[in-house]
Amino acid sequence: MRWLALFAIAALAVLPWVIGGRYVLHMSIMIAIMVTLALGMNLMLQIGQLSMAHSAFMGIGAYASALLTMKLGMSVLLTLPLSALLSAMTAALLGPVFLRIKGVYFVLLTFAFGQIVNLVFQEWTDLFGGNSGLHGIPKLSAFGHRLTDPAGIYSVALALALASFALVRAILRSDIGAMLRSLEADEPLSRSLGANAMAWRLAVFVLTAAMAGAAGSLYAHVIGFLSPAAFGFGLSVDLVVMNVIGGAASAWGPLLGALLIVPLPELLRGAKEYQLLSYGLVLIVFLLFFRDGLVGMVTALARRRAARASSPDAPTAPARADAEKRAA
Amino acid sequence: MISLVEQIVVNGVMAGLVYTLMALGFTLVFGIMRMVNFAHGELYMVGAFAALTLHGTLGWGYLPSVLVATGVAALFGAVIERLLYRPFVGRELGGMIMSLAVAITLQALAVIAFGPAEQSLARPLTGAVRVHEAVISLDRAMVAACAVVALVAFQLFLRHTRLGLAMQAVAQDREAASLMGVEAGAIYVRSFAIASALAGLAGALMAPIYTVAPTMGELPMLKAFVVVILGGLGSVPGAMIGGLLIGLSESVFATLFDTTLALIASFVIVLSVIVVKPSGLWSRAAR
Amino acid sequence: MTTAPRLELRSLTRRFGGLVAVSQVSFAMRPGEIFGLIGPNGAGKTTLFNLIAGVHRPSAGDVLHDGETVTGLSSEAIARRGIGRTFQAAHTFKAQTVRENLRLAALMHHSHGPAAHWRDRHHSKTERDQRCRDVAAFVGLGGLLDQIGGSLAYGQQKMLGVAMALMTSPQLLLMDEPAAGLNSTEKRTMGELISRMRDERGIDILLVEHDMRLLMSLSDRILVINQGKSIALGTPQEVQADAAVIEAYLGSDHELT
């Protein structure tokens, strides 16, 4: 099953090169960027925190990378990791304060933070260009060689997305993932055994902020133009939706979610009013009836098929099954 | 002569009253159902569009339109709670996400029904009146008056009716309340209807002041959110005092600086409050 | 030469607003001791326990472990010093198997943070797995390693909680009402386990318990608290005969034997 999924992903990843064309490649680049962000959101959800701050971390990475290349003439090769680092450092600074807050209040807190960052981008027009945007951001270039070919840009975006996917998947399947889930399941117990809850939460917060910063930097050089609207509440909502529809229990969920949600506005371009409506209705349906998302549906189907194949009573049900209780 | 200080205060109080109306519904729902309803602004929008339809399109009188619009919002709220929010009792994060979905859906429905453009509703009153050294436009004065009436009525309701007392009981301790025979489900749907009515009333009252559009609920929602965090999620007096405070502080910032800075200031306040005392400035020690 | 007491409390006090839950409690645990803590309902036992376990910060006074001040340390810092604790209600990772629960307990102890996890990356998996089996056998859950935690009987879940604490190799184990929710057979088993932990593994034990008979039979010494203050400290016999203790329990349902 797993090999089938990996093969499918490999095929999907290669598809844009095969089909070619600016439009398909641009869409694929955006999907890759969103996959990175959605994976970060997923990791936060695994530790029980719904963060509305990561759109701000993306924005910080984007504007930082744009300004470093425009004002200081640095190469994107340098600014991308630097932007990721800047977002990570912001998260490291705020984390000890923010992560003490849990549940609903954390959502509201990160929401407020995201709004502040967004408003600063809007207000400080000298530096960030305000609502009319920051224009003329140089495209990707490495060692003096400008990357203008969409296929080439896609390979960079794909590399980022694949690296993020591999990383998040490895974390979730490792002892770290088991600890994060158990920390979330019973924090007093975990701490009484010695687990440093804050250290782990901070690590996740900083890592996911770095991912968002890197994605933001890439975004800036792909689009060539930045406006604060791209890094607001709407983005955070989209990332949540990707995880709900895809499924929040594993790294596959946000991958699937991004694959579906990002092309949606384009696919439904004809009936734009109905696009938003179907978005909302699908989300409602999933929240009510398919809490574990599409990945959850697939896993349940696979499990049912396996159960029918072997004997009906299984006293040792897979322990991972209840990691689904995380998130929504 | 117009005194700047007085004008700022007057503007602030007027705005604050509307914020309080919005905040009250929001905080009520959280206090009783532990639910952060991101779709609260959309119920404001529903009230506004209902008023637009009744008064603007169908030509009903303004005040009857406002009353019926309030009822329409209450109905929407009741249905949404019963069908969509009820499954999320005890699941705060899931409920929050569901409210996001409801907000998206309601906005989309409004766009389909009324189109995305802004529409205006004729002002029921024109002219302005001088009060001491400030000027108040009559339509805003009426909004303020209606808001005050609603707030007073709400306080009386909360303290002197069985439903009001039951709501307070459930907000304080759900289990104890159920032991005393208060059925939580009936309380939830009614509280939600009342909260939605308050939001719808605010929307209907504000419809002629600004314009009516499917996205009009977003900003009032943000303001309500700021007020409620300041006053404490679930605190009715907090919402009242917080509403006036935010209205005043915004008036000051907006007049002396600009609105964006005012909004930044509001959110910085929110951030600080959540970090230092999440239960808000007016709540007793939180549960 | 004197060794520092395993656990020492000096005038430990905790106030909640206007209420004094624990008032100037002092005692010192001797090595190799099973130390009991008892008191009528609402006496402040749980608060005192939580102060020692790092769940609450004291308002005044000190807690010392092996002679070092640990006052106000977080519960994870206390755990890392070799002080384990069990909970009154059965706390386990209910979705995982018994084996996984024990493995996680060791993991949480050794890989308590990202840096620690990195340092611990070369630990022997076979060795740890063997430890899981040993500890499970020690508490009597040897045959249930593949059972899901949540599907165990309540008494077994509490045993699992003890086993998980044992996985962290504690020198001192704080037990919060280990017999709560157990039937008489399970209580007897738990009592035997507590004795064996002290006798066979050299673990000192601080025990808060409501069940008088169990406490009296296990403890070397007992501290009785009432209304936040300590009213008697001594052997079970001394405490049972103490006038103040008898008066505190007068009118309650408890018998002292």
Check: CB of residue A196 under 8 Å from CB of residue C132.
Answer: no
Any CB–CB contact under 8 A between A189 and chain C?
yes
Interface size between A and B, measured as CB pairs under 8 A: 108
Check: CB of residue C70 under 8 Å from CB of residue C64.
Answer: yes
Q: Residue C119 carries which side chain, given as an amino acid letter?
A: R
Query: Which residues in chain B are contacts of A279 at CB distance < 8 A?
Result: 104, 108
Query: Which residues in chain B are contacts of A237 at CB distance < 8 A?
Result: 100, 104
Of C108, C146, C167, the CB nearest to A190: C108
Of A193, A317, A319, the CB nearest to C105: A193
H or E element, residue C83: strand C83-86
Per residue in B136-149, pLDDT (tens digit) is 888 888 888 888 99
Give the number of C-alpha atoms closer than 13 A to the C-alpha of residue A53, restricted to the C-beta side: 27
Average pLDDT over residues C186-203: 94
- State how far the alpha carbon of C75 is from the alpha carbons of A4, A78, A199, C64, C84, in Å: 45, 42, 14, 14, 10
Identify the band that residue B45 occupies on the pLDDT scale cut at 50, 70 and 90.
very high
Check: CB of residue B45 under 8 Å from CB of residue B203.
Answer: yes
Q: What's A57-72 look like in SS3?
A: HHHHHHHHHHHHHHHH
Any CB–CB contact under 8 A between A179 and chain C?
yes
How far is it, in rounded angstroms, from Cα A55 to Cα A145?
30
Per residue in C141-159, pLDDT (tens digit) is 988 999 999 899 999 999 9
- Do C165 and A189 lie within an 8 Å CB cutoff? no
- Residues 6 or more apart whose CB falls under 8 angstroms from that of C122 comprise none
Looking at residue A328, what is its pLDDT?
A: 36
Of A107, A123, A276, the CB nearest to B104: A276
Interface of A with C in 150-169 (CB under 8 A): none
Any CB–CB contact under 8 A between C104 and chain A?
yes
Nearest CA in chain A to B225: A108
Identify the band that residue B213 occupies on the pLDDT scale cut at 50, 70 and 90.
very high
Chosen for mutation from A109, A131, A184 (greatest number of chain B CBs closer than 10 Å) is A109
Which residue in this structure is represented by tokens 């169990």? C214
Of B34, B84, B268, the CB nearest to A116: B268
Distance from CA of C238 to the nearest CA of A (A): 33
Any CB–CB contact under 8 A between C180 and chain A?
no
Check: CB of residue A17 under 8 Å from CB of residue A153.
Answer: no
Residues of chain A in Cβ contact (below 8 Å) with chain B: 50, 97-98, 100-101, 103-105, 107-109, 111-113, 115-116, 119-120, 122-123, 237, 240, 244, 273-274, 276-277, 279-281, 283-284, 287-288, 291, 327-328
- Do A192 and C85 lie within an 8 Å CB cutoff? yes
Query: In C153-214, where do the E strands start and end?
Result: 172-176, 204-208
Of A50, A119, A281, the CB nearest to B260: A119
State CA B39 to chain mean position distance.
11
Per residue in A30-50, pLDDT (tens digit) is 999 999 999 999 999 999 899
Distance from CA of A168 to the nearest CA of B (A): 22
Nearest CA in chain C to A207: C114
Query: Which residues in chain B are contacts of A244 at CB distance < 8 A?
Result: 97
Per residue in B167-209, pLDDT (tens digit) is 888 777 766 777 776 677 888 899 999 999 999 999 999 988 8
Looking at residue A320, what is its pLDDT?
A: 43
Give the number of C-alpha atoms closer than 13 A to the C-alpha of residue B137, restricted to the C-beta side: 11
How far is it, in rounded angstroms, from Cα C106 to Cα C224?
34
Looking at residue A272, what is its pLDDT?
A: 72
Of A103, A119, A280, the CB nearest to B263: A119
- Residues 6 or more apart whose CB falls under 8 angstroms from that of C110 comprise C116, C120, C123
Looking at residue C191, what is its pLDDT?
A: 94
Find, among B91, B239, B276, B100, the residue nearest to B158 by Cα: B239
Looking at residue A321, what is its pLDDT?
A: 44
Any CB–CB contact under 8 A between C18 and chain A?
no
Check: CB of residue B137 under 8 Å from CB of residue B127.
Answer: yes
The residue count of chain C comes to 257
Chosen for mutation from A99, A192, A325 (greatest number of chain C CBs closer than 10 Å) is A192
Assigned token pair, B41: 């602004």
How far is it, in rounded angstroms, from Cα C178 to Cα C191?
9
Query: Which residues in chain A are contacts of B92 at CB distance < 8 A?
Result: 103-104
- State how far the alpha carbon of C131 is from the alpha carbons of A30, A288, C101, C113, C190, in Å: 49, 44, 12, 22, 21
End-to-end, the C-alpha distance of chain B in Å comes to: 51
Average pLDDT over residues C229-253: 80
Nearest CA in chain C to A200: C113
Identify the band that residue C2 occupies on the pLDDT scale cut at 50, 70 and 90.
low
Distance from CA of A205 to the nearest CA of B (A): 17
- Do B267 and A119 lie within an 8 Å CB cutoff? yes
Domain spans in chain B, listed from the N-terminal domain onward: 16-216
Distance from CA of B19 to the nearest CA of A (A): 18
**pLDDT averaged over 10-residue windows placed end to end, chain A, 328 residues:** 80 82 88 96 93 96 92 87 96 94 89 93 84 80 72 89 95 94 93 94 97 96 91 92 92 93 79 81 92 86 81 49 40
Per residue in B88-110, pLDDT (tens digit) is 988 888 899 999 999 999 999 99
Any CB–CB contact under 8 A between B275 and chain A?
yes
Find, among C128, C84, C137, C82, the residue nearest to C106 by Cα: C128
So what's the ipTM on this one? 0.91
- Do A50 and B116 lie within an 8 Å CB cutoff? no
- Do A284 and B93 lie within an 8 Å CB cutoff? no
How far is it, in rounded angstroms, from Cα B209 to Cα B187?
34
- Do A112 and B271 lie within an 8 Å CB cutoff? yes
The torsion angle over the Cα atoms of residues C146, C151, C154 and C158, rounded to 10 degrees, is: 40
Query: Which residues in chain B are contacts of A105 at CB distance < 8 A?
Result: 274, 278
How far is it, in rounded angstroms, from Cα A50 to Cα A41?
8
Distance from CA of A82 to the nearest CA of B (A): 27
Any CB–CB contact under 8 A between A313 and chain C?
no
Q: What's chain B look like in SS3?
A: CCCHHHHHHHHHHHHHHHHHHHHHHHHHHHHHHCCCCCCHHHHHHHHHHHHHHHHHHCCCCHHHHHHHHHHHHHHHHHHHHHHHHHHHCCCHHHHHHHHHHHHHHHHHHHHHHHCCCCECCCCCCCCEEEECCEEEEHHHHHHHHHHHHHHHHHHHHHHHCHHHHHHHHHHHCHHHHHHCCCCHHHHHHHHHHHHHHHHHHHHHHHCCCCCECCCCCHHHHHHHHHHHHHHCCCCHHHHHHHHHHHHHHHHHHHHHCCHHHHHHHHHHHHHHHHHHCCCCCCCCCCC
How far is it, in rounded angstroms, from Cα A103 to Cα A110?
11
Give me the sign of the Cα torsion angle A266, A211, A49, A248.
positive
Check: CB of residue B228 under 8 Å from CB of residue B169.
Answer: no
How far is it, in rounded angstroms, from Cα B253 to Cα B8?
10
Distance from CA of C161 to the nearest CA of A (A): 9
